[in-house]
Structure formats: C-alpha cells, structure tokens
A and B are shown apart, each in its own frame.
Chain A
Amino acid sequence: MMRFLLLFSRQGRLRLQKWFTAMSEREKKKIMREMTTMVLARPPRTCNFLQWKDLKIVYKRYASLYFCLGVEDEENELLALEIIHRYVELLDKYFGNVCELDIIFNFEKAYFILDEFLMGGEIQETSKQIVNRAIESSDMLQETMEEYMSKPAF
C-alpha cells in the first residue's frame, strides 16, 4: 500500500499532504522534512526511486511541483510513477492546464479529486472518465445546494 503522498514546491513549501496511515503530528512533520531534503537534493537525470528506511520513495517533478509518494516494499515502483502521472492528468483535466497556483488556491479541490482516485493507500478507480464524472457530479451537488440556499425568495 501507499503510505503517503506529498506535494511540495522547489523551495520546500508544502502544497498537499495525504497520509494513509495513522501518525502523530510530530512524525508527519519529521517525514515531511526528510522527504523535502532528500528529494530536493537529488541531482537532475537521476532515477526517480529512493530507498528510505523500509519504504520506497517514488518522486517526480512536474514544472515547479514535486510529487513524492512513499510506498511499501511490495509495490511496483514503475506503476507508482504511473499513479503520480494519473493524478496530474486528473488535476489537469479539472483545472484546465493546471499549474501550482491552482493547487494553492484550490487545495480542497485537489484533495477531493485525490479522494476519488486513491483511498486507504490503494487505487480506487482506474478509469479517468469515471473519476472526472464523480467530481463533476459532486461539484454539481454542492453548487445546486448553494444556489438553492442563496437564491432570494420571491
């Protein structure tokens, strides 16, 4: 299973953190610090896999954002790269040419999308279209509720 997914910028600022196991705040902070140090220190054109304690760390840089996935030993590293790529594609489809600012200003949406794609440290849905449709319909549900609530009574 996957243990965590972290998104951080080139300066090490955290943009998204998803933890798939129960951990104390201190442990989370420690792991974040170590991940950012390790990954940012990697020279370019090195392989995307690292060994850290008993976990494999798979990371990939997309423009100014680093996607860092910590997986257990039996996971397939190449597939983990595909998982990261799939998530980026989902974000891209939703936001339209997604960039880091989109994720900063709409972080809760990024989480909602992630929660339709992954769950409990495993892949939840393998089809892009189904994930997109699920997000759209939950957005629709939210908007119609808002609209209903805020429409002035005549």
Chain B
Amino acid sequence: LADAGFVLTFPAWIDTIWVSSQLNAAVCWRGSLKRFTFLNYRHFYRAMSPSVPLQEMIRAIRSARTQCEERGVIQRECAAIRAQFRQTDNGGRSHNLAKLLYVHMLGYPAHFGQMECVRMIGSSRYSEKRVGYLGAMMLLDEKQDASLLITNSIKNDLSHSNQHVQSLALCTLACMGSAEMCRDLAPEINRLLRSSNSYIKKKAALCAVHIVRKVQDLGELFVPSAHSLLSEKNHGVLHGTVVLITELCERSPEALERFRKTVPDLVQIMKGLVISGYSPDHDVAGVSDPFLQVRILRLLRILGRNNEAASDAMNDLLAQVATNTDSTKTVGNAVLYETVLTVLDIKSESGLRVLAVNILGRFLLNNDRNIRYIAMTSLQKIVATDHNAVQRHRGTIVDCLKDQDASVKRRALELSLALVSASNIRSMMKELLIFLSSCPPELRAQAASGIFNAAERYAPSQRWHIDTILHVLTTAGGDVRDETVPNLIQLITNTSELHCYTVHKLYRALLTDISQQPLVQVACWCIGEYGDLLLKGECQETEAVQVTEDDVLDALEIVLQSHMSTPTTRGFALTATMKLSTRITDNVDRIRSIVSIYGSCIDVELQQRAVEYNALFKKYDHMRAAVLERMPVIQKNSLGQTNGEVSEETIKETQLAKVRLDETPQQPAGQVCDLLDLLGGSQEPLQPCSLLGDPALSQPTTALTSAGGDLLDLLGGLEPTPLTPAPTVTVYEKNGVTLTLSCEQQSDSGLTITLTASNSTDSDISSFTLQAAVPKSVQLQMRSPSRDSLPARGAAKLTQLVVLNNPNKVNLKMRIRVSYTSQGSVIQDTVQVDSFPGLSAAGL
C-alpha cells in the first residue's frame, strides 16, 4: 500500500504490526482485549480516512484533566474552526465540520456551523456532502431559517446519478423535513417509489412515511404506490411499504377500507416467512426476519380491528404463528408477543383468544423479567374483557408483587387490584396489605387508594372493612388521599354497632403513633364523638381496657401540642376536646381551660374555633348539650359516592356555615335553555360552570385550603334539612359509561337533581361534560361538576348538581347531552328523561 503511494496512519490502539507476506495478512496485539486482531482493509481505510485531524482533536480534549482545561481546548479549537470556515476552499473542510459536530455532542454551542453545513451540502465532493448532511441533521431543525436553504440541494440530490448521494438526501428529508419541504418534494418521493433500485425504493418509502406524518393530506398521493409495492420481494422495501400502509390506515378511514383488501396478500407474505426454510440473509436465531413479521402483525391488527371478515381471513395464520414460533429466545417471544396483541385486539374466535391468553400465562412463568413484565402489561389490557381467563393466573401475578424489580412490582400491583373480586377479597387483601408494608414509596399512594376501592366494593363485613382501612392508615397513612378521612368517618358513623370497637382501636392507635395525619384526624373525630363509649371500658369485640377521662384528654392535648400535627389535625383535636365536654363528667374545667388558651392561638382557624367554643361555654351554655350531641347517620347521596356531604364538624358549624354560605357569591347564573335550543344548536349550549368548585373529592379548589374550610361548599346547593335518601334511576348506560339521576324536592317549585357518572371500561375517559336542557318555563342552573374525567373501572365517580325552578309547574322533562373523549375519539350522546324519581304525580 505504501508503494502505491498511500500515506499510512493508524489509529492509536495499533502500536505494533506483524505482517506475514505468505499469509498475506497482518495482525496487531490489542492490549485492552488481550488478543491479536487480524487487520483488514477496513482498518487501513479507516486510517486513511479524513478523520485523522478529528481524532487528534478528540485525543486532545480527552486528555484535559479538568472541565476548565477542556473548555480551554475547545475554545481554541472552535476559534480555529471558525477561521477555517471563513477560508474559501481547502481540502480539510469536512474535518473541520466533523470536529465541530464532536464539540456539539459534548454539549457546547455550535450554531456558527449551520451555514457551513449548507455550503458543504452544496459541494460536489461526496465526503463533504456526507458530513454536511450529517451536520444538518444534528445542528439544523425545521425551526431554523438555515434549513430552508438546503431544500434546493436536497431536491437536486434526490435525482443525483449516484445512489449514495440520493440516499443522503432521502435520509435528511426523513429526519428533519419541514412541512413545506414535504409538500414541495412529495411528488419526487412518489416518483422514487417506482424506481427500479430497491435501495432507493426502501428509503423513499420511509420518506413517504415522514411526509404523511407531517402533512396528513399528502397521504392520498402515496396510496397507489404503496399498494403496488406490496408485491416486492426485497425485505427492506417490503418493510418500508408495510410501515407506510400502517401510517396511511391509521390516519384515513378511506385508506383503511382500501387496504383491508390486502389482508390475503399480507397473510401470504407472513406464511412465506414463517414456513420457509432457513434464509441466511434475514435469519435471527431461527426466526426469519422478525422485524418484518412484527410489522406485518401490527398492520393486520389495524386491519382486523372491528371487522369480522378481515379477522376471519387472518385467523388461521395467527394460530400458525402462535404455535410454530420458537419461544426460547427473545426474538421469538417478540413475534409471539405481537401475535398475542393482535389476536386480542381483533375479532378473533374464542379458541384463538384462549391460545393467546395461555401464551401470556406462559410468559408469566418465564425466567426472563422482561417477558414477565410485558405479559402483565398485556394482561392488564384484557383484564376487563377476559376477566376469567386472567383470573386463572392470579397466583403468579400475586407472586410478582414480591419481585425485586420496581417496574414488575408496579405492573403486578395494577393487575392484582384489577383481579380483586368478591370471592377472593380476603386472600387478596392479605397479600395487598403485606405488599403495602414493604412496597417502594412511589407506589404507596396507588396501592393505598386501590386497597380502599377494593375494600369498599367487596368488603365481606363492616368490621373487616374498618379493620382494613385502619391497617392501611397505620402502614401508609402519609400517602392516602385527602378524601379518605371523610369517607372513613362516614363509614364509621354508619356502622353504629361497631362504634365502641372502632373508638377503642383508634384510641390505641393514637397512643402508639401520632405522625400519620389521616389516622390522627379520624381518631380525634371518633374520640370526640364516641368518647363516652371509650370511657365505659367494656367492649364486645375487643378486650376491655380502663381509660380515664384524664387519659383521653391527655391524648388529645398531645396531638394539639405536637409539632407533627398539621393545622387541620389540630382543628380536629380541638373540636374533639370540646365535644367531650358533654360526654365526660369530671374534667369539664380542664376542657374549658384548654379552649380558652387556644383563644389566643396564632393559627386563625384554631383561634376562631376556640373563641366560638368559649362562647358556647359562656353565653350559650344552655345550648351546649344540644349542639354537641351525637351526629346523625350520614347518608350517602348515590351509589357509594358521598358527594362530599360528610361534615366532620358539629351541627353548630353547619348553622354557622349556612350563614357564611349566604354571603358567598353564588355560582354564575345558568342559562335558560329549552329542548329546541339544544337540538338546534343555534345558541351556545350550557357550559358547565367552573367557579366555586364542588367539594371535589379529588380536586383541590384554590379558595379553600383546610379540610375544615370545605364546609362552605359541602352544603352548596343543598340546605341542611334532614337528608332523606334520594331514589336514583339510571338514565344512560352505554359503552361502559353509566349516568344516574336522583332528585330532591327542595321547595314548592324548587328541585335539585344530582347526576352521577361512572366509567366501567378499562380505559380512562377525559373531558367528560354534561349539558342539560329543560322546557322553556323551567329555570335551570348547573353547578360545577366534581371532576372532568372518569378513571377506568369505576375508580372515581363524577357528580354534578342541577338546580331547577319550576314555578309554572309544567310537566318536567329534561334532555341531557353527554360528551366525552375515550381512547382518542370524541363521543356524544343525548338522552331524554321524562320521569323523575321522587317526584310525586301530584307534586311537580
């Protein structure tokens, strides 16, 4: 080579070469690998490549010992590069740009290289074009002005005589082509799709994919070419074609219809891949071109979705792939995984579905963690539809809760929660509680709320329910959601036979640990309410323990004074102390002194309470007993949703709140809207108002911070008259979305309707809105909904109040429009309600 006039330089790791002229070979010793490597022409070519100046610079940068030194080296180099750029032409232009790109990769600014990229792309030398295009892809993006300048070069290079130059242009277009460039060059790309050169065709196909992503309307242009390319034999072209067709079908229903006819062709291609013998070009561990197989399976999924005929056509093939693919290596499992996803998504026959779920079951037992993880992800998707099939694997899934890997744990948790049912609730809860005590902190909140939901739905007994909740509060009390406290309190009041047991347990928990705020709050509330039961000592369900009045007051005072207690908690404790004044006999003076001390507390809320309680002692002592008496049983409004009517405070507070409520601004006036308007859509239909939020159980409102303050809104829309259970009726049930309605007559002409929505599908619903229309003379006011999304599987419900006034006493009808987004598509539906439960025929 030296004789032929080449200047030889070698990379740093070659220090000695042994040459054998007889073998016509050269080897060198690689110290880092402790072996000899045969040198081939590639090593020499690399040495001869124009990268030597680049490598010297890299070496210089790497030998810098500190960040500061490195910066110095780079500044010098950049200055030199800038100087070089200004020179008109020199042989080393590509080196300089390459150096700049390296510097850019280290994180230093390189924008002064943008114009150089443009110049290099316009050069006629291939080496310069190559680096120029690379620079363009790294330094330019569609937001830079310089990117427009290369459009012309790309256009020219697309029709260059040399395929490598064409390839550079295609690659760059597919990487950073802006929408204008795409529009400009789409016809050219379409032409290249019909070229005779497979190398160019496959790149053009992926270019077309990029164009369709950027400018959806251009998709139509490529449909005929895509169709004809399906008969290609070259795998690269075929792969690009399948990707293009997938993209077209995902974006256009017409394209989807048209390409559905290609299902038989796709099935043929797949069969060829699966059955054919060993093909060295495309074989990966015994699977023939797994990349192409997976892409075809994905396309089949899109084509077979919601279409019986297409699904039938691919049934046999899917069964064949599922049974014949070797599952010992990852690559085979990748194909099986895609097959399972396809089977479960199309309208496959039940035998095939069972096969698919069984494959997932096998995956669950695989030693490879990755496989277990994806098995659980897939099972999660089908747990709603194929519940029984997934239940069979419950044992393995629960075992995965104990896996070391946090990702696997998370999946196992979600799946376990989905598998809880009435029959397995006890055993599952045991496992879940064990999990909760040792689970990673990022999963605690999810686990706790999942447990609460499960307990609420399937509790075998009330005592079990209370025990479970208490267990969660002691284990993970810091991570539970805010609405847990009112929910639990409501549950406790409703279980009157267990009041004694509950208060004893809570008291004991309070003595052990006062750091978990939700637990402390509930405990304080219960002690305040049921302190007399606590003091009585005896209890059926648990061993009796003697508790004196001083003990109880001590416990509450510790909470009041502890720095661990939040202001909310201290509020609870103070109120509880006050309530005890009617339930204990000896230590009322102590309570009086506590209350008066807090009359000068810095915390405004506490001070206010203390002052009011003081007033109760002084001026309203005759009312004290009545005010502080036991709370009535709190009714749930509808279907397990408390709708925030839980009041943790005394009745006196509710009266106070009523006063405050009258002063607060009411919700903005609703619009009068009649049935015709809603139909015609000419007027702006009712917008759900969003000012003062409802006591959204999961939505923090800006105006209210503490739980005590929620009282202002808790009674919004409903006067504190005796709460009688309102009958509910289901007015809408479709696609897993259920809407129920209950109403309550407030006055002669006034009526309050509560709409409750829930979502039993296994995908979340967002942007859920309700609009209502009533006959002309009826006045309608929509209050804010409690939330605007419906999480999957009924994890939370949405409630919205509608206040009606029917002074003319016309026959009441209501049309409700439901609108929401599910799985990316917007769904609207209207339902008419003609009869309202709870309205007597003689009344409204």
Contact = CB atoms under 8 A, between A and B. Distances in A.
A complexed with B: yes
A142 B5 contact: no
Given A76-B337, A99-B32, A112-B130, A82 B291 contact: yes
A78 B48 contact: no
Contact of A49 (B40, B175, B373): B373
Given A77-B370, A81-B330, A143-B45, A127 B405 contact: no
Given A17-B105, A77-B374, A108-B134, A47 B369 contact: yes
Contacts of A130: 236, 281
A82 B42 contact: no
Interface string B276-305: 000001101000011110110010000000
Given A79-B334, A145-B127, A94 B42 contact: yes
Contacts of B43: 96
B125 A149 contact: yes
A147 to B, nearest CB: 8
Q: For this complex, into which size category does the number of interface residues on chain A fall?
A: 35 or more
Given A124-B236, A146-B48, A150-B91, A105 B58 contact: yes
Contacts of A146: 48-50, 127
Given A138-B164, A151-B5, A48 B370 contact: yes
B112 interface: no
B46 interface: yes
Nearest to A83: B291
Contacts of B369: 45-47
Contacts of A54: none
A126 B164 contact: no
B239 A82 contact: no
Contact of A96 (B42, B49, B131, B404): B42
A124 B203 contact: yes
B627 interface: no
Contacts of B33: 97, 99
B55 to A, nearest CB: 5
Contact of B334 (A76, A112, A139): A76
A126 B235 contact: yes
B11 interface: yes
Given A29-B107, A127-B281, A78 B333 contact: yes
A119 B239 CA distance: 12
B448 to A, nearest CB: 20
A78 B330 contact: yes
Nearest to A129: B281
B239 A123 contact: yes
Nearest to B101: A108
Contact of A127 (B102, B106, B209, B235): B235
Contacts of A48: 370
A96 B37 contact: yes
Given A47-B373, A76-B337, A141 B292 contact: no
Contacts of B199: 134
B210 interface: yes
A50 B407 contact: yes
A11 interface: no
A82 B331 contact: yes
B408 A47 contact: yes
A120 B298 contact: no
Contact of A74 (B5, B105, B298): B298
A22 interface: yes
Interface in A44-94: 45-51, 74, 76-79, 81-83, 86, 94
A104 interface: yes
A51 B407 contact: yes
B195 to A, nearest CB: 16
A142 B55 CA distance: 18
A20 B202 CA distance: 18
B527 interface: no
A82 to B, nearest CB: 5
Contacts of B5: 151-152
User: Counting chain B CB atoms within 10 Å of each CB, which of A99, A107, A122 scores highest?
Assistant: A122
B141 interface: yes
A107 B832 CA distance: 67
Nearest to B338: A76
A125 interface: yes
A75 to B, nearest CB: 9
Contacts of B171: 115, 119
A14 interface: yes
User: Counting chain B CB atoms within 10 Å of each CB, which of A15, A46, A120 scores highest?
Assistant: A120
A86 B247 CA distance: 24
A78 B437 CA distance: 32
B164 A137 contact: yes
A20 B171 CA distance: 11
Contact of B292 (A15, A24, A124, A126): A126
Nearest to B7: A150
Given A22-B141, A96-B42, A82 B203 contact: no
A102 to B, nearest CB: 8
Interface residues of B, number: 86
B774 to A, nearest CB: 41
A86 to B, nearest CB: 8
B162 A122 contact: no
B206 interface: yes
A43 B440 CA distance: 14
A141 to B, nearest CB: 5
A151 B32 CA distance: 36
Contacts of B294: 76, 79
A63 to B, nearest CB: 11
Contact of A14 (B98, B105, B202): B105
Contact of A122 (B98, B126, B243, B334): B243
A120 B247 CA distance: 13
Nearest to A46: B405
Contacts of A151: 5
Contacts of A37: none
A105 B240 contact: no
A101 interface: yes
Contacts of B370: 47-49, 77-78, 81
B130 A142 contact: yes
Contacts of B32: 99
B338 A79 contact: yes
B127 A124 contact: no
A112 B168 CA distance: 10
A104 B292 CA distance: 32
B174 interface: yes
Contacts of A150: 91
B216 to A, nearest CB: 15
A17 B374 CA distance: 27
B206 A120 contact: yes
A153 interface: no
A106 B54 CA distance: 9
Interface in B193-250: 199, 202-203, 206-207, 209-210, 235-236, 239-240, 243
Contacts of B371: 78
Contacts of B106: 14
Nearest to B214: A22
A45 B330 contact: no
A99 B55 CA distance: 16
A16 B374 CA distance: 28
B566 interface: no
B69 interface: no
Given A120-B210, A125-B202, A142 B91 contact: no
Contact of B209 (A97, A104, A111, A120): A120
A15 B101 CA distance: 12
Given A78-B330, A111-B134, 7 more contacts: A47-B373, A50-B407, A119-B175, A120-B175, A137-B164, A141-B164, A143-B45
**Shortest Cβ-Cβ A-B pairs, 9 listed:** A78-B334, A120-B174, A47-B369, A46-B405, A125-B236, A79-B334, A120-B210, A126-B291, A119-B206
18 contacts: A22-B142, A29-B107, A45-B405, A46-B369, A47-B407, A78-B374, A82-B291, A105-B12, A105-B55, A107-B105, A112-B130, A119-B174, A119-B207, A120-B210, A123-B239, A139-B45, A146-B49, A147-B6
